[in-house]
Structures are given as structure tokens and as C-alpha cells.
């Protein structure tokens, strides 16, 4: 993007030089204050001391990914029905029987996760019944009971409690409307084994069949995964599934399981709470769908180092097939990757992870500016200058640095010296524990076209730049991020943090919640604007929307009027607001538009990110997150 040409002060170049050394020095510049307190409504984090339920089972209990929403398993729904002192870790695997679960090492993993006093739930049967499959089928009075005994003995060895749960009944009705039994001898075999070894057993088979009978063929449709075409973005063609649950049904069955545990004295009644209200939104809000199914981890591809499958990040990406449904994680060995990188639009569900102890240990860096000549003629332009461009959906970056080390001072005659570090246009992008380094135009959050929804979630990230260094028409929520302004050495205007250009048709643009706005050492006080409204090509519908709330503002920020005009467009016509900020860069002023508490309730991370598909990455790591540690997040 172009910055106002009437600014005549010289640019302060920030040259990375030897990338590893300079990244280290930049990340050390200027002490940052403590993280701002979290805004009201932030997800409740997990507590290491909480009592935990560990779930083992099959697809009816498992945790599903956002791509599967509103499909859910009852294990995924348990946190919504439990007191906040309880947490759930779900190892249930789609398609698993007792036999295949053990063979895949998941019993060992679940037992390793158990702590003294935890409760192990064991629920299998659907796939043990498949006797024609030698990898899964077990006879009910033989291997099935033997395998269940291994679960019980393993939990006891770890001084944990254990309860068996018979398989939930499918939605099967006879022609006269009678709910049918479909599990043969397996429920009775589990009940008998429980009696033999002296553990509680919840007869979920009988309880669920009784409920399906009470509801009848029509009302049970809402409990199972029956969706008309076009009703949910994840199922555009619709779906009819009489085995697996929609979120509503998962909550219902979770309630049956917990009621059974209370009846058998396994859990006190006070730990069970009522289901969320009957509205679809409240039901979906009560649960968490991770990026990937936790017990079906992504394929991992190693990059760099002495043993990487690929020497460069781009080579690894080029090896991936377009349109593949399998999630992939690129594991980057610590080091510097000097290359431009492009995640093409046909790739999705790709995660790029730095392998070091700190984001600065793994660096993707290049040195291209808007005015840099292209091979074959012309220049790269602002969007083309990016070190890393992401056009595919559902892409995540974790624990790495992305930098553009274009040396402005070495190119004094170049007119367009904007140099983007990260350019994202794909929807549902996640950036956590990343450092983004540049000068002007560090981070471009865009969309494939005007009016299209492209959401990004940045958590615990650090973004460094000087002029318009967070800009574009995308929708983004920044949570617990550090936003650092570099010193251009030219007060009274040392730069601008944002230059949003969201289309008027979109209700949300950029949200900064619980962030810290810091400055490089020596930056003049009262010299940096929070933002200005960018109207690309003079587009009158590009009405910037930026909210800064519950954040700490350093002394370098403009205090009386933190917003300013751009290219003839007034900041007063934009959608700029603050709420509950603090720090030396904040003060009460009639030229600081401030939300009321009632208005601020609408400007939350959840609302910015939800969209039509109910995306909620901010719930990762909260009580609603049932993923085992390190899986599915």
C-alpha cells in the first residue's frame, strides 16, 4: 500500500543483515510490560490441579475437528455438563474397537495421562461387532472382555478410578416405531465383566434406546447428524447419519453418561450441571472443535537440519497435493530459511511449526520490497513483496519468526519501499507464538476479494514495524499480542500501527484484546497513531474498523487523538473505537471514541472470528478443549 507522499521525514531502515543475529537483537529491544489482563469473557484455561476424566472409546465419543462441526462425540461434550473444577481429556478414536485402540498405542497413551484420583471411562462396542474385520472384530465373551480387563487393570495400577460405559444405541426404528437394539451381546458382556472385576458400568445402551423410544423417529433427527443441504457450511450437500451425533445429541448423551455415573456413586451430583439453553448458538458455544481430530494427527514433514526431508520450506509445500483432505504439519529445524514462501490457495490444513525453544530460533526471511524489480519486468508491488504469503485456508504458524529485511537505507532512490513480512488472504488462519518483523507494511491481512470473509487469529504474537504495519481488509483478532513500534527518528509523527480497509459489508475488521503496545528504545513520546483509514484506489466502501480494548498503551502512542486521516479520508468516518485501555498512552479525550460496556459486549474475540461456520480457535487450551496434550490443537 502507498503511504502519504506529503510525509517528508527520512525512513529509518531496519536491516536484519545476518538474520539470526539481528532477529535476536530486535527481539531484545525495549522491555515489554506485563501482559495486559484478559478481557471479560476470555476462555477459562485448564488447571493442572483439576480432577480429570479421561475418555477412551470410538467415534460416538470422540472429539471432532472444526471441519466436522456440528458433528460431535459425547466425550467432546462432557465439559459443558461438568462443574468447572472438572476437566476432560478425550482419547476416543473414530472407527476404534478395543482391539485396534490397543494396537495403535492409544491405551498406553491414555493410561500415561492418568493421575491418581482421575476417572477413566471406557466405551467400546460399535466396531468390536465387526467380526469380518480382523483388525477390529472381537468376540463379546472372549477377546472383547479380555481387552476391557486390560483397561481396568491399567487404571487401577495408576491409582485412578474406572467406569465402563456400554455402547450408545444407534437411531434404528422398526416399522411400528419401536427403537431397535443393535449391539447384540456386547452390552451384556460389558456389564458382566464389570460385575466380575468390581467396577461401575453405565448401561448407556439401555438409557439411550429408552430415550430414542421416548422421542420417536422424528424428534431423534435433531440429536443425530441429519442436516439439510445448505444448512451448515461444513456439509453443503447435507448429511444423514443415524450413528453419529450433532452437537445437541452429543450433549444429550453426555448427560446420560453423567447421570449414570451419579446413580452408581462414581461422581457426586454436584459436579454435574444442566445442559446449555436450547438455542443452537448456545449449544455450539459450549463446545470446542480443534483444527484436527486429536487422535488422528497430521502427517508430519521435516524441513531443514541434517535429517529433514526437504531443504527449503517452499520445496516441502510444493510436494503437497492440491485439495488433499489430510492435514499436514511442516516441522522446521531451527535455523534461517532465506526464501520467499507461498502457501497456494489449493492447499489447506497446513501447519508450519518452528522447532526451536523460541520463535527467534526458526526464521523465514527475505528482502523484497514493493519497488523491487521482477524478473522479466515490472516490480513486485506491495502484496508481492511478502516473505510469506498464505492463500490457502486453515493454515497455522507456530513458534517461528517471519521477517522482511529489505534495507530501506540502501535504496534511497526507490519510491515504493513497502516490504511485507506476512501476507495472509486465506480464511481461518492461526498465528500463535510468532514474531513478525518489518518496517512499513509488516503484516498484510487481506482477503481473496472485496467483501469476502477472511479471518485470522493471532495469539501471543509479536508484530514489529513503523508505518501502517498492520493493514488490509481482512478480519482479525489479536489476543495477548505485543505490538512494537520502531523509531523512525522523525517526531512528531513516528508512524501508524494500523491501516485497515475492511469493506462496509463486513461488521468486523481488526480487534486488539488484551494486547500491549510497546516501543523501541528511544522512540519519542506521543508520536505514534493507533491507525488511519486506508481506502484502496479511493474506494468509498472501504470503511476501516478497528477496536482496541483491555490493552496497555505505551507513552509513544498519541494521547489526545490516536487516530488520523489518510489520503483525504477522515478518521472520523471510520469505525475506530477503544474500551477499557490503560497505560501512559491512554487518556480520556473527546477525540478518542469509546465504547460503552453494552457496546463492548459485541466486540469480542468470539464474535470477530465466529463467522457462519462457528470458528472458535480462541477456545484452544480452555476447559472446553478435550484434546490430549499436544494433539489436535
CB atoms within 10 A of CB 384: 17
Torsion sign (Cα): 599, 602, 604, 609: negative
Cell numbers representing residue 462 in the block: 509479536
Cell numbers that stand for 336 in this block = 534461517
Q: How far is CA 83 from CA 97, 114, 527, 623, 625, in A?
A: 30, 19, 49, 10, 14
Catalytic position from the list 441, 466, 503, 625: 441
Cα 598 to its chain centre, rounded Å, is 27
Q: Is 468 a catalytic residue?
A: yes
CA distances from 289 to 221, 284, 528, 621 (A): 22, 9, 39, 11
Give the whole-angstrom CA distance, residue 547 versus residue 559: 16
Exposure string over 154-166, b if 16+ CB within 10 A, otherwise e: bbeebebbbbbbb
Q: Position of cell 483432505? A: 325
Task: Classify residue 48 by burial, with Cβ atoms within 10 Å: 0-12, 13-18, 19+.
Answer: exposed
Cα(301)–Cα(295) distance, integer angstroms:
18
The three cell numbers locating residue 315 = 520445496
C-alpha cell at 368: 523484497
State the residue for C-alpha cell 450408545: 168
Question: Would you call 441 a catalytic residue per the annotation?
Answer: yes
**Strand ranges, E, within 462-509:** 462-465, 467-472, 475-479, 482-485, 495-500
Indicate which residue of 468, 503, 550, 613 is catalytic.
468
Task: Check whether the bond before 492 is cis (ω within 30° of 0).
Answer: yes
- Omega into 70 within 30° of 0, i.e. cis? yes
CB contact at 8 A, 516 and 551: yes
Q: Would you report the helix, strand and coil content of the chain in percent, each value rounded to 5?
A: 20, 25, 50
User: C-alpha angle with apex 402: 417 to 435, nearest 5 degrees?
Assistant: 110
Nearest residue to 455 (alpha-carbon basis) of 468, 442, 473, 443: 473
Strand ranges of the sheet holding 51-57, from the earlier edge strand across to the other edge: 86-90, 51-57, 119-123, 161-165, 200-202
Residue whose grid cell is 467396577: 199
* Inter-residue contact 96 to 106 (CB < 8 Å): yes
Please, how many CA atoms are within 13 Å of residue 170, restricted to the half-sphere of its CB? 16
- Following CA atoms 411, 412, 413, 414 in sequence, which dihedral angle do they give, to the nearest 10 degrees? 50
Query: Which positions are annotated as active-site residues?
Result: 441, 468
Amino acid at each position: 500500500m502507498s503511504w502519504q507522499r506529503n510525509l517528508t521525514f527520512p525512513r529509518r531502515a531496519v536491516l536484519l543483515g545476518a538474520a539470526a543475529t539481528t532477529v535476536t537483537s530486535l527481539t531484545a529491544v525495549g522491555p515489554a510490560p506485563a501482559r495486559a489482563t484478559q478481557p471479560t469473557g476470555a476462555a477459562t484455561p485448564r488447571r493442572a490441579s483439576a480432577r480429570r476424566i479421561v475418555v477412551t472409546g470410538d467415534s460416538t465419543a470422540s472429539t471432532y475437528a472444526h471441519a466436522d462441526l456440528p458433528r460431535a462425540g459425547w466425550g467432546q461434550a462432557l465439559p459443558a455438563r461438568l462443574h468447572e473444577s472438572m476437566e476432560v481429556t478425550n482419547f476416543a478414536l473414530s472407527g476404534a474397537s478395543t482391539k485396534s485402540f490397543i494396537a495403535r498405542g492409544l491405551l498406553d497413551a491414555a493410561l500415561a495421562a492418568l493421575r491418581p484420583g482421575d476417572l477413566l471411562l471406557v466405551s467400546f462396542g460399535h466396531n468390536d461387532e465387526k467380526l469380518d474385520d480382523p483388525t477390529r472384530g472381537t468376540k463379546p465373551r472372549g477377546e472383547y472382555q479380555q481387552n476391557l480387563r486390560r483397561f481396568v487393570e491399567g487404571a487401577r495400577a495408576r491409582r485412578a478410578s474406572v467406569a465402563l460405559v456400554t455402547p450408545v444405541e444407534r437411531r434404528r426404528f422398526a416399522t411400528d416405531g419401536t427403537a431397535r437394539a443393535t449391539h447384540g451381546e456386547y452390552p451384556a458382556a460389558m456389564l458382566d465383566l464389570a460385575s466380575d472385576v468390581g467396577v461401575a458400568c453405565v448401561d448407556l445402551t439401555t438409557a439411550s434406546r429408552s430415550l430414542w423410544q421416548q422421542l420417536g423417529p422424528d424428534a431423534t433427527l435433531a440429536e443425530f447428524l441429519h442436516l439439510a443441504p445448505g444448512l451448515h457450511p461444513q456439509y453443503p450437500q447435507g448429511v444423514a447419519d443415524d450413528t453419529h451425533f450433532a452437537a445437541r445429541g452429543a450433549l444429550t448423551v453426555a448427560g446420560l453418561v453423567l447421570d449414570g455415573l451419579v446413580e452408581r456413586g462414581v461422581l457426586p451430583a454436584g459436579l454435574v450441571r444442566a445442559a446449555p439453553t436450547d438455542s443452537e448458538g448456545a449449544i455450539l458455544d459450549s463446545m470446542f472443535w480443534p483444527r484436527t481430530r486429536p487422535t488422528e494427527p497430521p502427517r508430519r514433514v521435516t524441513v531443514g537440519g541434517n535429517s529433514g526431508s526437504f531443504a527449503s520450506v517452499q520445496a516441502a509445500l510444493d510436494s503437497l497435493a492440491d485439495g488433499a483432505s489430510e492435514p499436514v504439519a511442516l516441522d522446521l529445524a531451527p535455523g534461517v530459511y532465506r526464501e520467499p514462501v507461498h502457501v497456494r490457495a489449493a492447499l489447506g490444513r497446513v501447519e508450519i511449526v518452528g522447532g526451536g525453544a523460541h520463535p527467534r530460533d526458526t526464521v523465514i526471511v527475505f528482502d523484497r520490497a514493493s519497488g523491487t524489480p521482477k524478473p522479466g519486468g515490472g516490480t513486485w508491488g506491495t502484496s508481492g513483496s511478502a516473505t510469506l504469503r498464505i492463500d490457502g485456508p486453515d493454515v497455522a504458524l507456530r513458534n517461528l519468526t517471519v521477517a522482511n529485511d529489505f534495507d530501506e537505507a540502501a535504496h534511497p532512490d526507490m519510491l515504493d519501499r513497502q516490504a511485507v513480512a506476512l501476507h495472509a488472504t486465506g480464511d481461518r488462519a492461526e498465528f500463535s507464538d510468532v514474531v513478525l518483523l518489518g518496517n512499513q507494511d509488516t503484516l498484510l491481512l487481506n482477503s481473496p476479494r472485496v467483501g469476502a470473509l477472511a479471518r485470522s487469529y493471532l495469539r501471543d504474537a509479536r508484530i514489529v514495524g513503523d508505518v501502517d504495519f498492520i493493514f488490509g481488509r481482512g478480519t482479525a483478532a489479536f489476543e495477548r499480542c505485543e505490538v512494537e513500534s520502531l523509531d523512525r527518528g522523525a517526531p512528531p509523527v513516528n508512524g501508524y500501527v494500523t491501516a485497515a480497509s475492511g469493506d462496509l459489508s463486513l461488521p468486523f475488521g481488526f480487534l486488539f484484546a488484551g494486547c500491549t503496545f510497546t516501543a523501541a528504545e528511544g522512540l519519542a513520546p506521543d508520536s505514534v497513531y493507533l491507525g488511519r483509514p486506508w481506502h484502496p484506489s479511493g474506494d468509498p466502501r472501504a470503511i476501516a474498523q478497528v477496536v482496541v480494548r483491555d490493552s496497555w498503551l505505551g507513552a509513544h502512542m498519541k494521547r489526545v487523538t490516536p487516530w488520523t486521516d489518510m489520503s483525504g479520508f477522515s478518521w472520523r468516518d471510520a469505525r475506530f473505537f477503544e474500551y477499557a485501555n490503560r497505560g501512559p498512552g491512554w487518556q480520556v479525550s473527546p477525540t478518542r471514541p469509546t465504547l460503552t460496556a453494552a457496546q463492548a459486549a459485541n466486540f469480542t474475540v468470539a464474535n470477530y472470528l465466529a463467522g457462519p461456520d462457528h470458528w472458535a480457535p480462541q477456545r484452544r487450551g480452555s476447559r472446553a478443549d478435550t484434546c490430549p496434550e499436544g494433539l489436535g490443537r
